[in-house]
Structures are given as C-alpha cells and as structure tokens.
C-alpha cells in the first residue's frame, strides 16, 4: 500500500458501490487517486465514483485520478518500490512483485509479519488464498484456515468432516446453528453456505451413528479372528493432511493444483 492510503476493506470489486455510498461525503472536496493491481479495476471504480459525484453536483470540487497501469506498472518504473510499501499480488506464477522488501502482511494464525502466499494455504470455506506463515502451517495437523471474510466460521466450519468424532460433529452442528441465527437478515449466500455445511455435518453424524450400531451388533455375535465387519472397513483413515482444493494427500499435492500454481502437465 501507499503510506496514508485509505483501505476500503473490500474483498471483491462488487463491494465498491457500497463503500462509495457510505464514504462519499468524506471524499467530497478532496483530491482522490485510486490504484489497483494492474489498473483495470480502478478504471471502472473511478468511472463509478465520478458518476456518483456528478449526481451530487460536486464533480468539479472532487477531482478523481487513477494510477495508470496500476501498481504493476509503477513497480516496473520504480524497482526500489518508490512510495509503495509491501508486495503487489499478481495473477501468475510469480504471485507477487516486490519493491523495497518491506513486509506489511500478517500471518492469519499468529499475526507474525508474513506476506507470501502458498497454493496449499487457502480458506476452507471459499478457497481464497490466505496468509499463513511456514511455522504455523508446519504445526497444523489439518491445514484448514479461514479468510477474513469467513473468520467467524473459525473452528465451526471444516471441509474434511471424516476426521471428527460424534462429539466433535455435534458441537460443530450447534455452532453452525448459532451462526445461522446470527445471519438472519444478512447475506443470503452466507446463510446458504452455512445450511449446506450443517446438512453435511448432520449426514456425517448419521453415518457414524449407523457404523456404531453395526459395530455393536457385530460384537454381540461370534466373529472370526482378523475378520473385519463391513462397518469397520468403511471407516476411512483420516489422519493424513489433505489438499483443500483436490483432496489428495498433502504430500502428493501441497497446493500445486491451485490456480496459477497448477502444473501444465497431465
């Protein structure tokens, strides 16, 4: 970012109209310069802002500029970073462009300075990249993380359910119901996401209960040595960490299938 810049707190461009609506009074009468990764999004954003200012009859008092070519072009012109601090995310295998080497990002788990993305460290809800340092990732048994937009889902919403016990799943179901109640009148998409996960948790709970009943019935009759019941064979081995995107063991695919990290080979 540039020192003194206003962070609109957006995760996608569709949120820009809401930011303008809530902050246009504070922008009136000031020089406004917009910047983004490559200059395309801020071109659309600046056009929207100018239109809203025109509707309020104050466009002439609030000049709106944009950084041509975005931060990408700026760092090409100023390799030492110029006035830009931190790293610029780019949508290819480089992942980022650096200027002065300063680190402004923070690990989402421990808050240590960190600004390097990794294809295996994504939000377990939406699969957006999240900042997680090497230390925290190495100590994670499951590698499931939550982005800022879904931070309220932490320890309530998990992608891989087959590693949890009945007690764990019951607790998750309770927390998911509480989150659903909090979302009444809120985002329809978030409510749909929570409902789907709650149904998955309930389905996994029923599966475990059925397996327990079958095992108890088997224990009541004689069983030949080394012969497993059908219920026992169906229980998967869930101790291995898996890739959130393709669900393969993490040792086979440590995020190499995500986005622009995806291999070009077969």
Catalytic, out of 36, 136, 243, 257 = 36
Return the closest-CA partner of residue 190 out of 202, 199, 177, 180. Answer: 180
Rounded distance, CA 67 to CA 84, Å?
Answer: 12
Rounded distance, CA 172 to CA 122, Å?
Answer: 20
Return the closest-CA partner of residue 145 out of 69, 75, 245, 235. Answer: 245
Return the closest-CA partner of residue 178 out of 161, 196, 156, 159. Answer: 156
What DSSP character marks residue 254?
Answer: S
Q: What are phi and psi of 21, to 5 degrees?
A: -60, -40
Asked about 36 being catalytic, the answer comes back as yes
> Can you list the positions of beta strands (E) in the chain?
32-34, 64-66, 87-89, 96-98
Whether 220 contacts 226, CB under 8 Å: no
Please report, for residues 36, 147, 192, 193, the alpha-carbon distance to residue 188 in angstroms, rounded to integers and kept in the order given.
28, 19, 6, 9
Any idea which residues carry the catalytic annotation?
A: 36
């Amino acid at each position: 970012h540039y020192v003194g810049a206003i962070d609109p707190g957006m995760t996608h461009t569709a949120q820009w109209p809401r930011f303008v609506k809530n902050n246009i009074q504070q922008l009136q009468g000031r020089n406004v310069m917009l910047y983004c990764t490559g200059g395309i999004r801020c071109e659309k954003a600046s056009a929207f802002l100018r239109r809203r200012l025109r509707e309020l009859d104050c466009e002439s008092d609030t000049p709106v500029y944009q950084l041509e070519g975005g931060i990408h072009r700026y760092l090409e012109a100023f390799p030492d970073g110029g006035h830009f601090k931190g790293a610029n995310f780019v949508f290819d295998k480089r992942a980022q462009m650096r200027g002065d080497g300063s680190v402004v990002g923070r690990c989402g788990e421990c808050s240590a300075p960190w600004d390097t993305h990794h294809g295996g460290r994504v939000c377990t809800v939406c699969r957006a990249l999240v900042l997680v340092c090497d230390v925290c990732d190495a100590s994670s048994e499951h590698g499931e993380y939550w982005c800022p937009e879904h931070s309220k889902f932490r320890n309530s919403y998990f992608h891989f359910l087959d590693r949890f016990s009945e007690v764990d799943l019951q607790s998750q179901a309770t927390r998911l119901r509480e989150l659903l109640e909090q979302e009444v009148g809120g985002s329809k998409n978030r409510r749909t996401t929570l409902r789907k996960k709650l149904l998955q948790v309930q389905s996994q709970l029923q599966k475990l209960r059925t397996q327990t009943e079958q095992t108890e019935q088997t224990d009541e009759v004689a069983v030949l040595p080394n012969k497993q019941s059908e219920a026992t064979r169906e229980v998967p081995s869930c101790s291995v960490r898996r890739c959130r995107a393709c669900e393969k063991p993490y040792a086979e695919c440590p995020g190499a299938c995500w986005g622009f990290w995806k291999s070009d080979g077969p």
